[in-house]
Amino acid sequence: MIIRNRFMKVLSSFHRIAASRQLIAIFAVLLGLNACYNEPNTLGGNLIPSEDNLSVKIDTSFEISGYTLTPSKVTTNGFTYGTLGCLNSKIFGKTKADFLTQVNLGYFREKNPLYGSFPVPDSLILTFKLSHYKGIKNKPITVTLFESKKRIIGTEKHNGLDPVDSWYDAGTPISTVVYQGESVLRFVLDTTLARRFLNADRDSIRIIQTINSKPDTSYHKYTEHDSLLTQYYHGFYLTCNDIVGDDGVMYFLNYSDSLTRMKLCYHSDTAKIKTIYTYDYIISSSYSSRFSHFVHDYATADPAYKMNFRDDTLTQDSVFYIQNLGGVQGLIKLDGIDAWAKKMPITISKAELRLELYDYPLGLPKDSIINNLYYYVELTDDKGLVYTEDQKLAQMEQQSTVAKYNRAKKYYSINLTTHLQSILRKKVTQKNFYIVPQIAPSDNGDEAVFKSRNNSSPMKLIITYSKL
């Protein structure tokens, strides 16, 4: 019995020793893993020689501030989508969009597109293909179609935020339809208008025949005829009614789709057998001059959720806002630049601005995460927006010039390394820059709320530098 007890004690001692060795082994593995760990987002930190570590510093104290500004102008010619609708938001108030567009010749024609000397119009149908929508699905809107009384010239730079009648001469409405998000927005136009297109076409038939007699029948050969047509018939203006309430809809109509067109049907009154002929006039994202027009009424926002301190660049809110379709933009001020100038001479190896989305109590749509966030610096004397120094370098190297959203880390990263160094060396004077969504309608999210420096979890400018 005594021998057995001694044996059990020895066995117990072996178990304790084994367990201790296991703990030591686990502890050693953890130490090894920790030795392999690098500070996240400090690229190349493990390449710095140990004797130089003391000269490399990381600083997050750079003073920056964020504000919400209303743009004074936006150029809208050449958009891929014709935007039409009215949206009401508790945050951004009311947004309304409409547009103007030309019609152009189709790609290919017969040498004699009109049969007989006296063509008779049967129908003229104008259609726009729906691409996508935002807001309430199948929300009805009343769409009114006008003939443009002024020629639409794509090279002009109209301000899409100005009252539309300042650069468009509206006439009498030529059609009105109720649209509920069907795949195609459709207008059946009067045959009197169809007759006008037939007459214009007949006047230009010699140009058409001359073009078709040449081997090269590519689309640009129709430019001369298109010019005659758009002088003869300027184009269309589409607008819709206001929507009252807390919702609404914005429809995005695709210029590039083949169903975005005007189809003319006609026959000859001299033919013995009536034969219907058709011809498509196109509304093209490549060739048709077009403009969008936007109206923003921020006063209709819910008082509990509306934007505060808009257009106030002295009082910083805890958040700032951006919205596309010519809506508000974010202004970032590099307030700490003078303090950092006193640190010179220094070399900045990395300057990264991190922007985090604010978890708004109201909640924004799932698509409010903007995949590509645009940012620019402003030239003096209101000469427009240009790239930062880092964006210029990225463009030369054919790399991305937009800020991408890191879904894992939940922030946007903007590289300001070269730009900040250039300011400190007095090679660049632009100390402020703008955060904007894509102005044109897109499939991505188009509005967002960001944390400012005045937030409890503020935006940060993280600088890795060395003192020279």
* Dist. CA 459–CA 448, nearest whole Å: 15
pLDDT at residue 66 is higher than 60: yes
pLDDT at 204: 52
Q: Is 70 or 53 the better-scoring residue by pLDDT? A: 70
Burial tier of 366 (Cβ tally within 10 Å: 0-12, 13-18, 19+): exposed
Closest CA to 225 of 107, 70, 361, 52: 107
Q: Which residue's structure tokens are 């201790």?
A: 20
Tens digits of residue pLDDT in 378-389: 765 566 788 999
* Dist. CA 151–CA 289, nearest whole Å: 10
* Structure tokens, 252: 């995005």
CA–CA–CA angle 195, 130, 255 (5° rounding):
60
Residues ≥6 apart with Cβ < 8 Å to 344: 424, 425
pLDDT at 262: 94
Tens digits of residue pLDDT in 178-194: 999 999 999 999 989 99
Closest CA to 258 of 128, 75, 429: 128
Tens digits of residue pLDDT in 301-331: 999 899 999 999 999 999 999 998 899 999 9
pTM of the model: 0.79
pLDDT at residue 401 is higher than 90: yes
Q: Is 362 or 357 the better-scoring residue by pLDDT? A: 357
Confidence bin at 2 (pLDDT 50/70/90):
very low
Q: Are 143 and 243 in contact (CB under 8 A)?
A: no
The secondary structure of 72-118 as a DSSP string is S--B-TT-SEEEEEEEEETTTEEEEEEEEE--B--S---SS-S-SSS
pLDDT at residue 20 is higher than 70: no
pLDDT at residue 225 is higher than 60: no
Strands 236-240 and 93-101: antiparallel
Confidence bin at 161 (pLDDT 50/70/90):
very high
Bridge partners of 59, per DSSP, are 463
Q: Are 390 and 419 in contact (CB under 8 A)?
A: yes
The CATH architecture annotation of domain 57-70+310-467 reads: Sandwich (2.60)
Confidence bin at 99 (pLDDT 50/70/90):
very high
pLDDT at 363: 55
Looking at beta carbons, which pairs linking 199-207 to residues 24 or more positions away fall under 8 Å? 200/228, 200/229, 200/232, 200/233, 201/113, 201/114, 201/279, 202/114, 202/119, 203/228, 203/232, 204/228, 204/229, 205/112, 205/113, 205/114
